[in-house]
Amino acid sequence: MARHPRERRIEICPMRPSDLDQVLEIERLSFRAPWSRQVFVEELERDWAHLDVLTERGPSGSRVVAFCNYWLVRDEVHILNIAAHPDERRKGHASRLLAHIVDFARNHGCRFITLEVRKSNHGAIKLYRSFGFRPVGIRPNYYVEENEDAVVMLLELATGTE
């Protein structure tokens, strides 16, 4: 079947330094205390850090519409960020990135995936719950700029050794 000429293709791939400006824009539009360029540069240099971008390729070229940042530490993946550009929300991009991270964790033999999420971010909590994450604790005043607590969430993965 021929592809419609205006169809957009979605790809998830490792972030490149050339993606940084687009990721910084998404970061700035998504978070109350956005990370600086330097923090992202440092993350790109860390062996345990993984930054991936979700790119849409269409007739007018390609652009980053969402990104994620997660760490692989022993048998655990810790998610730091998942964000989509505000114009691209409610299109399944965060779900795609979360599924990508879960696949990564399984492929690396991880037992757990953890994350912190704002207590007030009901949409994100609902998304994480749909993947099987469960709340396991509260980090009081984790988001100090608004004096907001974080919910610690955990996904336990079945491993081949159980």
- Please give the domain boundaries of the chain with CATH numbers for all domains: 9-110+122-129 (3.40.630.30)
116 is catalytic: yes
Determine the Cα–Cα distance for residues 111 and 155; give it in Å rounded to an integer.
8
128 is catalytic: yes
pLDDT value, residue 1:
44
Determine the Cα–Cα distance for residues 157 and 11; give it in Å rounded to an integer.
25
pLDDT value, residue 159:
66
pLDDT value, residue 2:
47
pLDDT value, residue 136:
98
Active site residue: 27, 43, 70, 116, which one?
116
For 62-108, the pLDDT digits (tens) are: 899 999 999 999 999 999 999 999 999 999 999 999 999 999 999 99
Which residues of the chain fall short of a pLDDT of 70? 1-8, 159-162
Active site residue: 27, 43, 128, 143, which one?
128
pLDDT value, residue 145:
84
- Locate all alpha helices (DSSP H) within the chain, ordered by sequence: 20-30, 37-45, 93-107, 122-130
pLDDT value, residue 162:
47
Torsion of CA 131, 137, 143, 147, to 10 degrees: 130
What pTM does this model have? 0.90
pLDDT value, residue 59:
80
